Amino acid sequence: MDIASLPENTRALKQLIADLLVGHETVIAEREATISGYKADIADKDQYISQLEEQVRLLKALQYAAKSEKTRPHHGEEQYSLFDEAEWAAMREETGEAAEEPRTEVVPHARRKAGSKPIPEAYPRVEVVHDIPEQDKICGCGAALTRIGEEVSEKLDIVPAKIQVIRHVRPKYACRTCEGVEDDGPTVRTAPMPPQLIPGGMATAGLVAYVVVNKFVDGLPFYRQERMFSRLGLDISRATMCNWALQASRACGPLVDALHKEIRSGPLINMDETTVQVMKEPGRKNTAKSQMWVVCGGPSSTPVVLFHYDPSRSGKVAEDIVGNFQGYLQTDGYAGYNALGAREDITHLGCLAHVRRKFHDVLKTGSKKKAGTAETVVNLIGKLYKLEKQAREGNLDFEEIRLMRQEKIRPILDKIKILLLARGGSVPPKSLLGKAMSYALGQWDRIEAYLQDGRLSPDNNAAENAIRPFAVGRKNWLFSGSPRGCKASAALYSLVETAKVNGLNPYEYLLHVFEQIPHVKGEEDIKALLPWALKKEGKST
């Protein structure tokens, strides 16, 4: 715009200047808005980058650090190992890495070294005497030396698996006088074969129990056992062993049903689930993940661990397992349990260990900015567990424990809740700390519910501990060959884990069950095979 084009009229000139100023301000406002938008985008991206960096630090910590959630005595000195204890032991078995050799030498009690343990007296002893030569038994004075005692050290030995064949001999009888003509019965008389766990098969109850315990207690897949038997000169295929397990689980079906009934009679059920890959499921790919549910419950004197296979993780499965149970249900925060928790006859408990775990994840990232809140929460939970431990070691009864919790533990939980509510608004909700705080507050009513009864625990570790042998075994056998096989596995896991929580040797318990189950005629016979029935007979180990 040149000077000649400017209006001569003063008012018009002022209007032109005003229009130019307004336009300029509009442009400035638009530019400022654009810049503000860029800044907001940058802030969002910075926050997103921070969240990604946090996740990377956590993944590195999980890869190179321990899964243990134990607090360390000094801040910043956390040391982590690669696997938890069970998985680490399994890995060392796989790789052949030598573990520290335990001391087995035993000296007389008065001189026993600190830390060494005596070998149980139940094992047979074979004495090997190491004597001095006869000529050394003469003193320098010419008199014979007198034996005044002995030095004894004991060392463990093992005899490899011994294979034997049980020959069932049934004499046959016939009449040589009339050759059976005068008898209305059979011409030849023979005693009937006793009922067998595997009718017509070559395996005894002891062999089947051995194979089952190897897999479902010690995590040895059938293909490895096949090689073990081959070294002993026996040709027993994995398919044969699989068939034995199927038949054993089918025979024990009524016993597993009795366990299921028993678990619904107790005041508390702990529940959890883990994935399992099952081949040949109708309408599903072999790569699909199914679920192995685990339930712990029953009266304290007759605890039960029950495994249940289902392709679905739906809450409907949990409802079917729990059935008409009334009492306390303790789970993690999985939404599939919400419908059960909404029932009037069930009080839903949460898991404080899951809450603590999420704050430990924050500490594992090494973020000093967010560690303050997380470390405070973890330390407070640590104080809570210390009080719980003192109550157990003090042999307090359930009412004393309930009163102790109301007096000492409720204030700790209140302090944690106040802290989370106070700092929640300043923490990005998508960060690890934000997620940990949101999870804790979302579960808070269920966490506090355990204060109601001294029989209850602050966490769901009972179920997690019960499912661990299955998870460790899964690392070895990887998948189940069919739905029928997975159901059989669930039944056998139920038997061995229930035997363990009742203080029984799993092999001895299965041996007894497999020997007696073919003779079962009714409900009373089934009850006699439950683990606590054997405990009353003094067969616990």
Identify whether 337 is part of a domain. yes
Give the whole-angstrom CA distance, residue 251 versus residue 116: 44
3-state SS assignment for residue 297: strand
The distance between the two most distant Cα atoms of the chain, rounded to a whole number of Å, is 155
- Asked if the structure places residue 278 within a domain, the reply is yes
Residue range 269-291: mean pLDDT, rounded: 91
Helix (H) or strand (E) holding 31: helix 10-64
> What CA–CA distance (Å, rounded) separates 411 from 337?
28
Q: Which two tokens stand for residue 491?
A: 């039944």
**pLDDT score for 75:** 40
In a domain, 170, yes or no: no
End-to-end CA distance of the chain: 105
pLDDT tops 50 at residue 400? yes
Least confident of 69-73, 304-308, 316-320, 438-442: 69-73
Q: What total of structural domains would you count in the chain? A: 1
Angle between helices 410-423 and 432-442 (to 10 degrees): 130
Residue 224 lies in a domain: no
Question: Is 235 part of any domain?
Answer: no
Q: What is the 3-state secondary structure (H, E, C) of 305-369?
A: EEEEEECCCCHHHHHHHHCCCCEEEECCCCHHHHHHHCCCCEEEECCHHHHHHHHHHHHHCCCHH
Query: In this structure, are strands 268-277 and 327-330 parallel, antiparallel, or unpaired?
Result: parallel
Beta strands in 4-85 (DSSP E): none
Strand runs labelled E in 99-255: 172-173, 189-190
Write the CA distances from 334 to 91, 256, 331, integer angstroms: 30, 26, 8
pLDDT in tens, 460-477: 999 989 988 888 888 887
Q: Does residue 144 lie in a domain region?
A: no
Confirm whether 328 is domain-assigned. Answer: yes
Contact in structure between 477 and 492 (CB atoms under 8 Å): no
What is the DSSP track for 406-467? IIIIHHHHHHHHHHHHHHGGGS-TTSHHHHHHHHHHHTHHHHHGGGG-TT--SS-HHHHHHH
The pLDDT score that the predictor gives to residue 300 is: 84
Count of C-beta atoms within a 10 Å radius of residue 306? 27
Name the more confident of 292 and 163. 292
The residue among 323, 331, 328, 321 whose CA lies nearest residue 300 is 328
Q: Is the pLDDT of residue 5 over 60?
A: yes
| Cβ–Cβ under 8 Å, residues 335 and 381 | no
Q: How far apart are CA 331 and CA 337, in angstroms?
A: 7
Q: Is residue 416 part of a domain?
A: yes
- Which ranges of 111-204 would DSSP assign to H, the alpha helix? none
Mean pLDDT of the chain: 83
Higher pLDDT, 416 or 97: 416
The lowest-confidence range among 47-51, 61-65, 274-278, 285-289 is: 61-65
The pLDDT of residue 479: 83
CA pair distance 433, 358, nearest whole angstrom: 8
**For residue 286, what are its two tokens?**
């072999």
Q: Given phi > 0 = left and psi -120 to 50 = alpha, else beta, which region is 519? A: alpha
Predicted pLDDT at 236? 93
d(CA 30, CA 218): 71
Which residue, among 513, 534, 72, has the nearest Cα to 251 in the 3D structure? 513
| Per-residue pLDDT, 235 | 92
Phi-psi region of 323 (alpha: psi -120 to 50; beta: other; left: phi over 0): left
Average pLDDT score over residue span 361-390: 85
pLDDT band at 515 (very low <50, low <70, confident <90, very high): very high
- CA 194 to each of CA 191, 205, 515, 522: distance values in angstroms, whole numbers, following the listed order: 9, 12, 10, 18
DSSP 230-295: HHTT----HHHHHHHHHHHHHHTHHHHHHHHHHHTTSSEEEEEEEEEEBTT-TTS-TT-EEEEEEE
Q: Which residues of 461-474 are buried (b: 16+ CB within 10 A; e: fewer)?
A: bbbbbbbbbbbbbb
What does the block give as tokens for 427? Answer: 């923490």
Distance, in Å, from the CA atom of 52 to the CA atom of 160, rounded to the nearest integer, reads: 54
Sequence-distant (≥ 6) Cβ neighbours of residue 520 within 8 angstroms: 254, 526, 529
Containing structural domain, residue 379:
264-478
Which amino acid is residue 483, in one-letter code?
A: P
Q: Whole-angstrom Cα distance, residue 68 to residue 80? A: 8
pLDDT at 284 over 60: yes
Q: What is the pLDDT of residues 29-78, one digit of tens each?
A: 667 777 766 666 666 666 667 666 656 766 666 666 655 555 554 443 33
Q: What is the pLDDT of residue 423?
A: 85
Give just the sign of the alpha carbon dihedral 297, 265, 403, 345. positive
